[in-house]
Amino acid sequence: MFDLSSYLARRTLLIEEHLEALLPQETSAGGRLIEAMRYSLFAGGKRIRPVLCLAAAETVGGTAADALSVACALEMIHTYSLIHDDLPAMDDDALRRGKPTCHIAFDEATAILAGDGLLTFAFEIIASRCPAPPARTLAVLSLIAWAAGPQGMVRGQMLDMVIQGRPANVQEVEHLHGLKTGAMIEAALAAGALIAGGTDSEVAALRAFGRKLGLAFQVVDDILNVEGDPAIMGKAAGTDRIQGKNSYPALIGLEKSKEKAQNLLNEALESLSLFDFRADPLRAIARYVVTRNK
């Protein structure tokens, strides 16, 4: 029987250690920048994207070591996006995972630069620290940059700002989530499979899994934002911008939202049908994402 919590504990430890090695503390004059980058990087994230990336590498027969640098780069890109999204000009959030956000703990200029630094450093890590053949590493870097950039996550952030304050329909909201959150979850799975030498059809299957999982993740987030306990969530429930009147519960109702999450889970699991037991961690993670309470 596969034990998810022990698997996740081992995996997050591996990722924490590698992140620590990639971005050690500094005491020199530039230290404040690194300190701010570390502050947000080690602020208690669940490391979902790097865990998915490593699991995808193993699903196609590779090892966690093949994908570890890519996985850590994904977490840095995720962290940069949170830092910038929390800025006063964006969501203006003072708390993230129960801790002051980067611009509150430091200042706005430092937070902008910490985000810029994490994003840039992420690409440097992929380019300089992957054990894979160069052509494969380049393809992985390209797909991650695409997913993170103006056709992916950044575009999603922009759409989120544009839609803010006006009612949207389910299609618009789904498109937005697909860009803002989904693109990087898909990329984590596709990158993990690709860096470990997965075939085109394996990469495509894991990308499809990521698409369903990312959407399920968001639907569940919306549900938790209505039902969640603030003490467990680490932030006030009901405060996220896109949640609220454009959340799934508001658009299609709470019960339909839960049904949707369950259907997405089933479709996600279906995408993994070509893989053997090595995809068990991904199957367990997908089930966890839909049944979590924070």
Would you tell me which residues interact with a copy of itself (CB under 8 A)? 29-30, 32-34, 37, 80, 84, 87, 89-90, 107-110, 112-113, 115-121, 123-124, 127-128, 133-135, 137-139, 141-142, 145-146, 148-151, 154-155, 157-159, 161-162
Helices 108-129 and 31-41, interaxial angle, to 10°? 80
Phi, then psi, of 95 in degrees rounded to 5: -125, 145
Tokens of 150: 């103006």
Closest CA to 268 of 256, 260, 278, 277: 260
Distance CA 184, CA 189 (A): 9
User: Minimum distance between the CB of residue 92 and a copy of itself, rounded to whole angstroms?
Assistant: 10
DSSP-derived secondary structure for 244-256: TTTSHHHHH-HHH
Closer by beta carbon to a copy of itself, 124 or else 229: 124
For residue 132, the minimal CB distance to a copy of itself (Å) is 10
- Shortest Å distance, C-beta 292 to a copy of itself: 29
H or E element: which one contains 17? helix 4-22
Q: How far apart are CA 264 and CA 69, in angstroms?
A: 29
Q: Looking at beta carbons only, is 140 or 265 nearer to a copy of itself?
A: 140
Shortest separation between residue 221's beta carbon and a copy of itself, angstroms: 21
CB closer to a copy of itself, 159 vs 290? 159
Give me the residues paired with residue 100 across strands: 95
Reading phi first (left if > 0) and then psi (alpha if -120 to 50, else beta), residue 61 is in: left
The torsion angles phi and psi of 104, rounded to 5 degrees, stand at -80, -45
Rounded-to-integer distance, Cα 18 and Cα 284, Å: 24
Beta carbon nearer to a copy of itself, 3 or 92: 92
Closer residue to a copy of itself, CB minimum distance, 161 or 226: 161
Which of residues 87 and 269 has its CB atom nearest to a copy of itself in the complex? 87
For the bound state, the minimum distance from the C-beta of residue 104 to a copy of itself, rounded and expressed in Å, comes to 13
Nearest distance from C-beta of residue 154 to a copy of itself, angstroms:
4
Report the distance separating Cα 263 and Cα 191, nearest Å: 25
Q: Which of 118, 205 has the CB closer to a copy of itself?
A: 118
Binning the chain into helix, strand and coil, the percentages to the nearest 5 are: 70, 0, 25
How near is the Cβ of 158 to a copy of itself at its closest, in Å?
A: 4
Q: At what angle do helices 48-59 and 183-195 cross, to 10 degrees?
A: 40
